[in-house]
Homo-oligomer: A and B are copies of this chain.
């Protein structure tokens, strides 16, 4: 494998691992980044409930979809700007950082002012116009791997952002599409050590979308930590059964708390903390 295919994202360009600081919290060092929250922002009450619980567990990053790109045009598309405002108010209340997806570059100015970390979703990983604009901002960004993208294309997408001036990229493995039908996607954890060989960028994992099955999330998060992930993003909803999307893969806050406890020994075994 010739990492000479890459320029700014490569280890040749920068030997030391990139550490990104958001609201005073570091991503990419020995403390694992934990990003949690519901698939979609549904109401102030929902967000307040979940943020309160997460914040009491020490979680510093609150996620929630305000603008939801969906496969089906008749499916719930998110609360939009109203959702983003809720997310911001609640995060401020609990001193958390906001992570939210930017599906449309026309909304970039609005979203950039209200979020701490931008997220580029899997469907947009090869939207080069969006990559360039996000590159021109200096906002920290989570770049999710496209479902049909090779690791090479994933790193080249990050190269778009870096080459436009933004070094604050956090890669996120979330599974690829294969013939397997038991899980929603096929979570390919080998991406983590592979990226660590090729690049200085931090990489986290999103097992909720990668698996789509609640019972597999804890063991696969353990696996991701064991092979070197810098953090993880998990869907947590105060009442998953009533969620407007992804109801089968979201944890309740108490399930999530239990899982965090179980992850501690694995983190310690690889020299990290939660």
Instruction: Report A's interface with B, CB cutoff 8 A.
Output: 1, 7, 69-74, 77, 103-106, 123-124, 126-129, 131, 146-148, 150-153, 156-157, 159-160, 163-164, 176-183, 186-190, 192-194, 197, 211, 213, 215-216, 219-220, 222-228, 265-266, 268-270
Return chain B residues, CB-CB under 8 Å to A180: 150-151, 176, 188
Nearest residue in B to A125 (C-beta to C-beta)? B123
What are the 3 A-B residue pairs with the smallest beta carbon separation, nearest first? A148-B148, A226-B226, A223-B223
Closest chain-B Cβ to A267's Cβ sits at a distance in Å of 9
Number of copies: 4
Q: Could you tell me if A73 and B220 are in contact, using CB atoms closer than 8 angstroms?
A: no
Residues in chain B near residue A105, CB distance under 8 A: 104-106
Please give the distance in Å from A152's CB to the nearest CB on chain B.
7
Q: Is the CB of B127 within 8 A of A148?
A: no
Inter-chain contact B156/A73, CB cutoff 8 Å: yes
B73:A159 contact, CB within 8 angstroms: yes
- Could you jot down 15 A-B contacts, CB within 8 Å? A1-B213, A69-B128, A106-B129, A150-B179, A176-B186, A183-B194, A187-B189, A189-B220, A193-B215, A193-B216, A219-B227, A220-B227, A222-B226, A222-B227, A269-B269
Known: A103-B128, A178-B179, A223-B223. A74 touches B266 (CB 8 A): no
Q: Inside 8 A of A131's CB, which chain B residues have their CB?
A: 73
Among candidates B70, B176, B178, B222, residue contacting A270 with C-beta atoms closer than 8 Å: B222
A269 partner residues in chain B, CB cutoff 8 A: 265-266, 268-269
The answer to whether B152 and A182 touch across the interface, beta carbons within 8 angstroms, is yes
**Closest B-chain residue to A124, C-beta based?**
B127
- Nearest CB of chain B from residue A163's CB, rounded to whole Å: 5
Contacts of A146 in B (CB 8 A): 148
Cα(A211)–Cα(B188), bound, Å: 11
Docked-complex contact A150 and B182, CB < 8 angstroms: yes
Interface pair B150/A129, CB less than 8 Å apart = no
Q: Which residues of B contact A177 (CB under 8 A)?
A: 148, 179
Asked if B188 and A151 make an inter-chain contact with CB atoms under 8 angstroms apart, the answer reads: no
Given A72-B156, A124-B127, are A178 and B186 also a contact pair (CB < 8 Å)? yes
Minimum distance in angstroms from A268 CB to a CB of chain B: 7
Q: Which of B106, B159, B186, B190 contacts A183 (CB 8 A)?
A: B190
Q: Give chain B nearest CB distance to A85 CB in angstroms.
A: 20
Query: Nearest Cβ distance between residue A136 and chain B, in whole angstroms?
Result: 13
